[in-house]
Amino acid sequence: MSLSDAPLGQTVSYPSRYDPSVLFPIARAQNRASLQLAEPPAWTGADIWTAYELSWLTPKGKPRVAMATFTVPADSPNLIESKSFKLYLNSFNQTRLDNAQALRDRLERDLSAAAGAPVTLEMMLPQHFARQQIAELEGIDLDKLDVEIDTYQPAPELLRCQDGPVVEETLCSRLLKSNCPVTGQPDWGSVQIRYRGRPIDRESLLKYIVSFREHAGFHEHCVETIYTDLMRACAPEALTVYARYTRRGGLDINPWRSNAATPVIAESRTARQ
């Protein structure tokens, strides 16, 4: 199946009963081929999805609600198209299940089958909602730089490295934006870059991040592109690229890719999520 067969951008009916057939996997290989990698990706990583609109019925027909965080490994053959994910989760709304564990079992089984690799999840029931925390990505705020920008398609040639000793630092920006490659809807995000290596020129990095502003690409693809472009431009010894995108339809997507031995991945959602 091709992307034109996906429910994204099409008028579809939301199923009211459990229906795993609506899940639409998309092979990662095509986008990675466009990155012209000389060998299979050396990164580790995951796509972290947060579902804020999860509901089902008890055997007596009483609704229950929960939140869930799904982790799709970056080495899975497929990513899961976001609208199909929403359709799938909503198919539980009128589905009677014995308990939350029965829901968890179905979610893990179906999503792992779609991704082609084990998908794990953490479910949060209402009694634990108060534990949710909001925090911004840590790091030096690139958005304070006063720069002139006129490029709004990915431009890796903007990236510059400075001469000097190896540094270890964390940089961040809230100005990441790309567009859905099917619907053209904006995808808003924050991005964090941790690295050890030659100093990355901060103004050039901010210009590069903003250059995605009119780019059509899935969240996961954008993060892999940023990671690949930084490795080619500056060859850091260690690099982690982590993006947290704002939610749409009750789901947010937060991909990260890293070659660090112990990557640091923040768990809190940002204020815009």
What's the Cα-to-Cα distance from 71 to each of 34, 46, 85, 87, rounded to whole Å? 25, 6, 13, 18
Question: What is the reported pLDDT for 6?
Answer: 53
The answer to whether 248 is a known ligand-binding residue is yes
pLDDT digits 0-9 by tens, 96-123: 999 999 999 999 999 999 999 999 999 9
Expressed in percent and rounded to 5, the helix, strand and coil fractions of the chain are 25, 30, 40
- Has 80 been labeled as part of a binding site? yes
State pLDDT tens for residues 180-209.
998 999 999 999 999 999 999 999 999 999
The owner of tokens 């660090």 is: 260
Q: Which of 47, 110, 172, 180 is catalytic?
A: 180
pLDDT over threshold 60, residue 78: yes
> Domains along the chain?
3-131 (3.30.1130.10), 140-258 (3.30.1130.10)
SS3 184: coil
**Catalytic entry in 187, 222, 229, 252:** 187
- Asked about 161 being catalytic, the answer comes back as no
Q: What is the predicted pLDDT for the residue at 2?
A: 52
Is 249 annotated in a binding site? The answer is yes
Q: What is the mean pLDDT of the chain?
A: 94
Is 160 annotated for ligand binding?
no
Mean pLDDT of 215-234: 97
Confirm whether 201 is a catalytic residue: no
